[in-house]
Amino acid sequence: MGFVEFLSYDFAQRALAAGVLVALITAALGLFLVLKRMALIGDSLSHVALSGVALGLITNLSPVFVAMPVVMASSLAVYKISQSAKVYADSALGIVSAAGLSSGLIIAALAGGFNVDLLSFLFGSILAVSGAELALALVLAVLIFGFIYLFYNELTALVFDEDFAQTAGVKVRRLNIALVLISAAAVVIALKVAGIMLVSAMIILPPCAALQLAENFKRALFLSCALSVAGVVLGVYAAFLLNLPSGAVIILIDLLILALCAGVKKYAFKKRILTKAD
């Protein structure tokens, strides 16, 4: 089936629309998180999302809408624990991750084990995105890009040097809290696209690829979004054609893009050295 024909299906249009929105959200946010060395917050919060999804399934409520407050509350816990000077940020992520994963597994066991619905959240099921989930992704995308636009320079200062940002009058605490809450929302909305197992890769891979090539921060932001969208569009189509889990295919394509960008950077660097030597 050709790509144009694929696009004529409602489910494909919905899947691609949701995928593109999620790609934009995770890539833009991911750039700040990667540079702030908080990239693994996605991994930790996605584990927490398991308990939210399981809770949603056991109560017959929408798993995404139940997971949202659970993961947001956990993101605040990550922030609170990491602010305690006796616990490093990565340990805080590990603590919350362990709590989320263990409670999620217990809830899933109480619900009678892993059923098809839970597995679709574990590995992603973008072709099953509902209209409500698409609307939620759209609202979140508008909110997150509005936030980045309004606080772009403050976020830049925060990521570059937090102590300096505070002395420059940036409300560091509020901004950090906003960042973890938005990360939580991004993780939940990305669950259907990448799945609990791989959602953090959508936050990490496109920004890392963009950082290989970008010569300034704005270009890195644009490139991260563009590469992420490319990965999702190609991934969704390939997953459909090959009947494979969408999340895994998207992430494999993101990995290939990262390898390609790293290769281009290495080649450009060698060329620069040789040009200088000449």
Positions touching other proteins (CB under 8 A) are: 35-37, 85-86, 149-154, 156-157, 159-170, 211, 214-217, 219-220
- Shortest Å distance, C-beta 183 to other proteins: 18
We find the least distance from the C-beta atom of residue 176 to other proteins, in angstroms, to be 13
Q: Comparing C-alpha atoms, which of 25, 8, 73, 71 is closest to residue 44?
A: 71
**Nearest-approach distance from CB 14 to other proteins, in angstroms:** 33
Nearest-angstrom CA–CA distance, 73 and 81: 12
Task: Name the residue among 234, 227, 166 with its Cα closest to residue 202.
Answer: 227
Cβ proximity to other proteins: between 3 and 152 the closer is 152
Q: Between 130 and 174, whose beta carbon lies closer to other proteins?
A: 174
Which is closer to other proteins, CB of 4 or CB of 276?
276
Distance CA 81, CA 92 (A): 6
Look at the block and give the residue holding tokens 């362990």. Answer: 98
Judged by beta carbon, residue 59 or residue 91, the one nearer other proteins is 91
What is the nearest approach in angstroms of other proteins to the Cβ of residue 276?
A: 14
Lookup result for tokens 């921060």: 217
| Residue among 217, 252, 221 nearest 234 (CA) | 252
Separation of alpha carbons 32 and 242, rounded Å:
34
